Structure 1
Amino acid sequence: MESSWLEMRWARPFYLAFVFCLALALLQAVKLYLRRQRLLRDLRAFPAPPTHWFHGHQKIFQDDKMEKLEEIVEKYPRAFPCWIGPFEAFFFIYDPDYAKTFLSRTDPKSQYLYKFIVPCLGKGLLNLEGPKWFQHRRLLTPGFHFNILKTYVEVIAHSVNTMLDKWEKLCSTQNTSVEVYEHIALLALDTIMKCAFSQDSNCQINSTHDRYVKATLGIGRIIRNRVYSFWYHHDMIFKLSPKGHHFQKLIQEVHQYTEKMIQDRKKSFKAGEQQNNTQKRKYKDFLDIVLSAQAENGESFSDTDIRSEVNTFMAAGHETTASSLSWLLYCLARNPEHQDRCREEIKGILGDGSSITWDHLGEMSYTTMCIKETLRLIPAIPSISRKLSKPLTFPDGCSLPAGITVTLSIWGLHRNPAVWKNPKVFDPLRFSPENCDQRHPHAYLPFSAGPRNCIGQQFAMAELKVAIALILLRFKLTADPTRPHLFSSHIILKPKNGLYLNLKKLPEC
């Protein structure tokens, strides 16, 4: 009688390995099952849209169709559990009272998307937690004081005029369709390079010339590609891929550039040359500010911390501002009556626009309302997420346990018909003083709120005001009906396939 193959000595290790792997698989299946049951129990108090047993609610958000979210907000006006597959759920909120309760706490940020950018930025204000975050926030806040921001107006204006000179070469007195987002992204990068490093990169004229600029743009493209690709979410798969290898090279190049800038500036700082250099350029850049913070706080604020904060300022101040300015132009192109009114206001303040100062920005009341309405209608950051470190109870008595990831949908909040009348209509008068006084303080959160609100919001508003003022003095904007816009809703809400507008050069004043 022949013996079973299992009795053969050579087969036993394979059999044991098979049993071991099967046991691990069963254990993992049990863990996932228990996780799903726990989530179902924790979220049972909150109604949700119908969900697919495997995909969850992913179908609702596919193809960046933000309209699907609007339908859910209208049907479930406070919040809903959003399932990402069968074993993961986020809790979406978009009610002002829920937002107020959520943002009053200091829960750690969800790392679901931030893990993609940590290798590039390091640990800065965007992703730090706990005491170190408080320390960095305290040290850097003086860098965004009005007296510092005032000096940036001339820098911003110079960068904007560079872009407008390019547009004049592209356009005649006739309407010319232009993909504006690429130009605006380079404008924002040019501005940040000057405000962070006092470096005139010339990236608006030749974006492929400067190695740092080229590496920065390349990193952004790879991160966006990784967000869209499920397989690249796994760190090991991404690192072993060609894109992962290229990503590491680009990061190394950016970090070397930043490190050299920091060390060169520190040497001049120690040599007593810094004050003279700062006086020559008439303003303090961000690197001056963080080095001053380090000088006052010794080893508690390291060179790695400096590099992380400079990289964070570069990234956060570049893409979000580019997105916001692009959507502002889009909204004014779609609403010519508001564009004309802004232009008349700006002409009354600036004349021909040959000079613009900080004080001028405060006089642009209607233009500011249009900027705020754009940030309501199309917020650059559509959502923020945090993982609850302790249970959370909302004002209506509903509760969530620790460990749940809560996502504040700023898009949903800003378009919630229970909060805003006719939320899809572009109406700047929503932000008149009398209307603002009547509104819930957490109904409008383009820069978040609470202790972790955006430290650079005044810088962003100043850049938007300078840019839109100078643009409207030189160009009339109209929408291109042949090129409908699409949203790219991951991390930053940007035009998915560019943003095309018709530009018409206005006669000289």
Structure 2
Amino acid sequence: MEPSWLEMRWARPLYLAFVFCLALGLLQAIKLYLRRQRLLRDLCPFPAPPTHWFYGHQKLLQDGEMEKLEELVGKYPCAFPCWVGPFQVFFYIYDPDYAKAFLSRTDPKSKYLYKFLIPCLGKGLVSLEGPRWFQHRHLLTPGFNFNILKSYVEVMAHSVNTMLGKWEKICGPQDTIVEVFEHITLMTLDILMKCVLSQETNCQTSSTHDLYVKATFEASKIIFHRLYNFLHHLDIIFKFSPQGHRLQEMVKILHQYTEKIIQDRKKLLKNEKKYGNTQKRKYQDFLDIILSAQAENDNNFSDTDLQSEVNTFMLAGQDTMAGGISWLLYHLALNPEHQERCREEIRGILGDGSSITWDQLGEMSYTTMCIKESLRLAPPVPSISRELSKPITFPDGRSLPAGITVVLSIWGLHHNPAIWENPKVFDPSRFSQENSDQRHPHSFLPFSAGPRNCIGQQFAMIELKVAIALILLRFKVSPDPTRPLVFLPQIVLKPKNGVYLHLKKLP
């Protein structure tokens, strides 16, 4: 009688391996099932939208319908859990008391979103935690003091005027429809190249840097879609996917570009020191600040740290500022009475706009109110997230355990009808001193709040004021009703189909 295959010597290891893998798979399935049951129990106090048993709410928010989020904010007070697949949940909050409790803590950044950002940005302020984050923040803060920022006003004005010169050539004396987002994106890149790296690139008038701009846009898009595709949370699946391969290509372009600039600056400084022919520049750029920090803290601030911080400010700064200026221009186009009032204020301060100074920016009170209202309606960063390191109890008594990923929806907070009357209406008077004083301090958070607030918020406000002041002095803007603005919420807010405006040169 022939022995069965299990009795053969060669088959026994295979059989044992099969049983072992089966047992591991069963244990993992039990572990996932228990995780889901624990999450369901922990989130029981918080009602949620109807969910698919396998996809969860993946399709609900992945499609980027901001109206759907606003609908949920109105239906579920304070917060709701958002399932991404059957075993992972993001807990959305959009209530000022919830936001205050959340931002007053020092929980680490979400391992999902910020882990996905590291290939693009490296480990800089956006992704670092604990003592390393504190050290970087302390070293970089001098780059944003008022004396440094004052010197950037003239630089910003020059870049904005370059863009306006292009618009004048495009429009001539006629009222012309222009897709302005592309122009504004190149203008903000031009400003950052000068303020961060002292690079005169002519990127607004030549196509040399198109590849860099496209790489930043495409990388952001891929990371956003990865966030809401739970299968791509697994590195091994994402790495071998078409999107994973494409992201590697984009990251290579971005890193090679900034690395070359950094190494060229280091060589220049080395030669200046060697031959004693130091060139005094008009202003101190951000790279100067980082190189100075590296020289003083060589053991604690490596070349990798340096490149990570440059990448962070270049990529994060460009995307957020291009959006912020574009949304502001669009909102003023939709509301001509506010546009004209801003223009009158700016003319009274700047005259013909032949020059613009730091002190003049502080006089633009109504324009500043319009900027804040635009940031409320369209916050450039629509959400931030943290992973709870310990349980949290919200002011209404409901709690969450450690390990939950909490997403502060800044968009939801800014459109919450419980806070803002008629939240879709553009109303700058919301930000009069009187109205601001009566509102919860965590109702308006375009730059976040707490210990990890945006280090570049003063830089951003200056750029917004300079850009809108010079634009309104030279152009009247109105919307194209055939192509309304549609927001695409990625890591930062983007226009789905561009931003089209009628531009009319003012006499």
Q: TM-score range by the shorter chain?
A: over 0.9
Please state whether the residue corresponding to 2:155 is helix, strand or coil: helix
Please say if 1:175 is aligned against 2:175.
yes
| Alpha-carbon contact 2:90-2:404 (below 8 Å) kept | yes
| Alpha-carbon contact 2:390-2:403 (below 8 Å) kept | yes
Post-superposition CA distance 1:200-227 (Å, at most 9, x none): 11111113x25xx634532431341343
- Equivalent residue, structure 1, for 2:446: 446
- Equivalent residue, structure 2, for 1:221: 218
Moved more, 323-332 or 6-15: 6-15
1:160–1:48 CA distance, 2 compared to 1 (3 A):
same
Partner Cα separation in structure 2 for residue 273 and residue 439 of structure 1: 57
- Equivalent residue, structure 1, for 2:65: 65
Equivalences for 1:104-143 in 2 at 5 Å? 104-143=104-143
- Equivalent residue, structure 2, for 1:37: 37
1:452 Cα deviation after fit: 0.3
Partner Cα separation in structure 2 for residue 225 and residue 112 of structure 1: 14
Moved more, 372-381 or 168-177: 168-177
1:270 Cα deviation after fit: 3.8
| Alpha-carbon contact 2:149-2:459 (below 8 Å) kept | yes
1:434–1:269 CA distance, 2 compared to 1 (3 A):
farther
Give the unaligned 5+ runs of structure 2: none
Moved more, 105-114 or 362-371: 105-114
1:13 Cα deviation after fit: 4.6
Equivalences for 1:185-200 in 2 at 5 Å? 185-200=185-200
Q: 2:263 aligns with which of 246, 260, 281?
A: 260
- Equivalent residue, structure 2, for 1:277: 279
Post-superposition CA distance 1:220-277 (Å, at most 9, x none): 3134134325466543455445425523532451353144134225415644868x53
1:43 Cα deviation after fit: 1.3
| Alpha-carbon contact 2:150-2:358 (below 8 Å) kept | yes
- Equivalent residue, structure 2, for 1:293: 293
* C-alpha RMSD over aligned residues: 2.1
1:159–1:197 CA distance, 2 compared to 1 (3 A):
same
Partner Cα separation in structure 1 for residue 312 and residue 255 of structure 2: 16
Partner Cα separation in structure 1 for residue 120 and residue 269 of structure 2: 22
TM-score (norm 1): 0.93
| Alpha-carbon contact 1:82-1:91 (below 8 Å) kept | yes
| Alpha-carbon contact 1:226-1:233 (below 8 Å) kept | no
Partner Cα separation in structure 2 for residue 117 and residue 254 of structure 1: 18
1:457–1:307 CA distance, 2 compared to 1 (3 A):
same
Please state whether the residue corresponding to 1:460 is helix, strand or coil: helix
Partner Cα separation in structure 2 for residue 337 and residue 273 of structure 1: 57
- Equivalent residue, structure 1, for 2:310: 310
1:135–1:245 CA distance, 2 compared to 1 (3 A):
closer
One-letter code of the match for 1:426? F
Partner Cα separation in structure 1 for residue 275 and residue 383 of structure 2: 45
Moved more, 251-260 or 198-207: 251-260
- Equivalent residue, structure 1, for 2:427: 427
- Equivalent residue, structure 1, for 2:78: 78
Partner Cα separation in structure 1 for residue 183 and residue 474 of structure 2: 16
1:272–1:153 CA distance, 2 compared to 1 (3 A):
farther
- Equivalent residue, structure 1, for 2:463: 463
Please state whether the residue corresponding to 1:454 is helix, strand or coil: coil
Moved more, 485-494 or 428-437: 485-494
- Equivalent residue, structure 1, for 2:161: 161
| Alpha-carbon contact 2:215-2:254 (below 8 Å) kept | no
| Alpha-carbon contact 1:108-1:388 (below 8 Å) kept | yes
Partner Cα separation in structure 2 for residue 273 and residue 127 of structure 1: 39
1:422 Cα deviation after fit: 1.0
| Alpha-carbon contact 2:153-2:357 (below 8 Å) kept | yes
Please state whether the residue corresponding to 1:117 is helix, strand or coil: helix
| Percent identity between the two aligned chains | 69
| Alpha-carbon contact 1:350-1:360 (below 8 Å) kept | yes
1:24–1:251 CA distance, 2 compared to 1 (3 A):
farther
Please state whether the residue corresponding to 2:504 is helix, strand or coil: strand
Please state whether the residue corresponding to 1:126 is helix, strand or coil: coil
| Alpha-carbon contact 1:82-1:89 (below 8 Å) kept | yes
Partner Cα separation in structure 2 for residue 379 and residue 400 of structure 1: 27
One-letter code of the match for 1:31? K
Partner Cα separation in structure 2 for residue 265 and residue 195 of structure 1: 18
1:369 Cα deviation after fit: 0.5
1:120 Cα deviation after fit: 2.5
- Equivalent residue, structure 1, for 2:477: 477
| Alpha-carbon contact 2:216-2:315 (below 8 Å) kept | no
- Equivalent residue, structure 2, for 1:147: 147
Partner Cα separation in structure 1 for residue 444 and residue 22 of structure 2: 52
Post-superposition CA distance 1:307-347 (Å, at most 9, x none): 22122111121110001111111111111111111111111
| Alpha-carbon contact 2:112-2:233 (below 8 Å) kept | no
- Equivalent residue, structure 1, for 2:361: 361
Please state whether the residue corresponding to 1:468 is helix, strand or coil: helix
Partner Cα separation in structure 2 for residue 408 and residue 396 of structure 1: 17
- Equivalent residue, structure 2, for 1:55: 55
- Equivalent residue, structure 2, for 1:344: 344
One-letter code of the match for 2:468? I
